[in-house]
Amino acid sequence: MVTYLSRFTITIIGLLVIIQSTPSTSSPNNSVQLLLLSTTHIHIHSVIDFGAKGDGIHYDTAAIQSAIDACPPGNKPCEVRFPPGEYLTATIRLKSHVTLNIHEDATLLGGPRIEDYPEESSRWYVVLAENATDVGITGGGVVDGQAMKFVVTKNEIKNVMVSWNHTGACSGDECRPRLVGFLGCRNVNVWNVRLREPAYWCLHIVRCDNTFIRDMSIYGDFNTPNNDGIDIEDSNNTVITRVQIDTGDDAICPKTYTGPLYNLTATDSWIRTKSSAIKLGSASWFDFKALVFDNITIVESHRGLGFQIRDGGNVSDVTFSNINISTRYYDPSWWGRAEPIYVTTCPRDTKTKEGTISNLLFVNITAKSENGVFLSGSKHGLLKNLSFINMNVTYKRWTNYMGGLVDYRPGCQGLVNHSSAGIIMEHIEGLEVKNVNMKWHGDQSSSWSNPLDFRPWTVNDISLLNFHSDFDNSDGNVAS
């Protein structure tokens, strides 16, 4: 890139050249520009040069791993390129300063056999980076987990999947490989890439610091369980922007297992899921703090914004702004009951502690939903200082699934019969509702009960300002 400027000074710092125009009325542009010169030494390895066939039939694992391992030690950036083709592979391991560059006509296919993955199930990923710095994936291409090869029985409600639980490496019915994992990494970049058909969770960020995920898409089969979009665990300083996620299970899912999670921002994104679009939990052993979700469109999902806090971690300072939500019922074997917003802290079982949730702000929210908002703290896990400002909710039924169930899963009281209300509130200390419009559609058979449903002895300090509730019997099709 050549930029012409009438007057400029050049400073060389390493291999970066900073061109700064001096303030001058004759200069049209006084911005500071950073240019990465083409002479910068990025090592480039093509997996073809290391013997990859790219025919989608032979395993290219050894060739790909050699291309990565041949990257020089030290701080030099290294790009491992995949030219057009299909690269069948067992687990490949990224290392520091390596970026996978997958051509837009190239696909990495994850192996479908248990022997394609390491012994420890905690390392079952198609692409795995562990304790690495400056790592990433880009190039416009695809990483595909071949989930369909893990389906035992296809089912419109929920596919039945294999579970690799017979070796002892993993127990239960969720023993399948994830797609891409960054564990204990710093400076992670995932951009311009398509992640597709994970057999289990898709993009897993664990104990990382400084992660940037942008301009990418995730596609998982709508009927496949556990194909979460992005799971961010025990990690700080994560930015997600301009992502499109269409999948069966939770789309953006912060969790805490071994440490807290601070500073997560997700913006400018689009989500469809048969579970929660955004969900904190259910693993919630440590705190979550300073999360921002802005300008997000959620369509036809089973739940919009969700908190399943179950293990004693405390959540604070979370903002949701400029969010459009449409939620509908699916089969109740999937968690979610069409709630646009769901905030809960009931303890998972009798042994777990109750965590609190405080300082939540919901601003500029539009929802079209088959069910109401559910806000349910617990005796020692209160919901404190919640604000709903500028919110329009349209309530209308458009599927034939049974309503009238409150969903406390996982654990807690499970599914409980309770008539559908606009906002159900339990165990709350401080709730502000300002400029909120509820619009109701349907007839008596829709079985809506109250706009606001709460028992005064568990809910304190509710303030309503400019709150409207209107019944509309016209037949507007809100489902579209």
Chain residues binding ligand NAG by CB under 6 A are 28-29, 31, 33, 130-131, 163, 165, 171-173, 184, 207, 209, 234-237, 259-260, 262-263, 268-270, 286-287, 290, 295, 297, 312-314, 321-322, 324, 355-356, 359, 361, 363-364, 366, 385, 387, 390, 392, 417, 437
Least gap, CB of 28 to ligand NAG (angstroms): 5
388: which strand partners?
A: 362, 433
Cα–Cα distance, 234 to 261 (Å, whole number):
5
- Tokens 């079985």: give the residue: 447
Phi-psi domain of 403 (left: phi exceeds 0; alpha: psi -120 through 50; beta: other): beta
The CA distance from 89 to 347, in Å, is 41
Nearer to ligand NAG, 435 or 458 (CB): 435
Number of other residues whose CB lies within 10 A of the CB of residue 408 = 18
Nearest distance, CB of residue 130 and ligand NAG, angstroms: 4
- Least distance CB 89 / ligand NAG (angstroms): 18
Q: Which residue, 52 or 436, is less far from ligand NAG as judged by CB?
A: 436
- CB closer to ligand NAG, 260 vs 332: 260
Quote the least distance from Cβ 95 to ligand NAG, whole Å. Answer: 10
- Look at the alpha carbons of 166, 171, 176, 179 in this order and tell me if their dihedral is positive or negative: negative
DSSP H or E run through 459: strand 459-472
* Choice between 66 and 163, CB closer to ligand NAG: 163
Q: What one-letter code names the amino acid at 335? A: W
> Considering beta carbons, is residue 62 or 239 the nearer one to ligand NAG?
239
Min separation Cβ 302 and ligand NAG, Å: 19
Nearest-approach distance from CB 457 to ligand NAG, in angstroms: 22
**For ligand NAG, the closer CB: 46 or 192:** 192
Residue 234: left (phi > 0), alpha (psi -120 to 50), or beta? left
- The region, left, alpha or beta by phi > 0 then psi within -120 to 50, assigned to residue 248 is alpha
CB 132 to ligand NAG: min, Å? 9
- How is the chain split among helix, strand and coil, in percent rounded to 5? 5, 55, 40
First CA to last CA across the chain, in angstroms?
A: 45
Residues 270, 447: Cα–Cα separation, whole Å: 31
Find the shortest distance in angstroms from Cβ 183 to ligand NAG: 7
Tell me how far, at minimum, the Cβ of 109 lies from ligand NAG, in Å.
23
Q: Which long-range contacts (CB under 8 A, 24 or more apart) does 117-122 make?
A: 117/90, 117/91, 117/177, 118/91, 119/169, 120/169, 121/164, 121/169, 121/170, 121/175
- DSSP collapsed to 3 states, 345-378: CCCCCCCCCCCCEEEEEEEEEEEEECCCEEEECE
Nearer to ligand NAG, 52 or 180 (CB): 180
Query: Given the complex with ligand NAG, which of 99 and 326 has the nearer CB atom?
Result: 326
How far apart are CB 159 and ligand NAG at their closest, in Å?
Answer: 11
State the nearest-atom distance from the C-beta of 205 to ligand NAG, in Å. Answer: 10
Alpha-carbon distance of 173 to 122, in angstroms, equals 15
Sign of CA dihedral 139, 323, 313, 423: negative
Q: What does the alpha-carbon distance between residue 209 and residue 196 come to, in Å, rounded to a whole number?
A: 25
Q: How far is CA 447 from the centre of its chain?
A: 33
Q: Which of 323, 328, 258 is nearest to 297 (CA)?
A: 323
What's the min distance (Å) between Cβ of 13 and ligand NAG?
A: 19
Buried b (16+ CB within 10 A) or exposed e, 467-476: beeeeeeeee
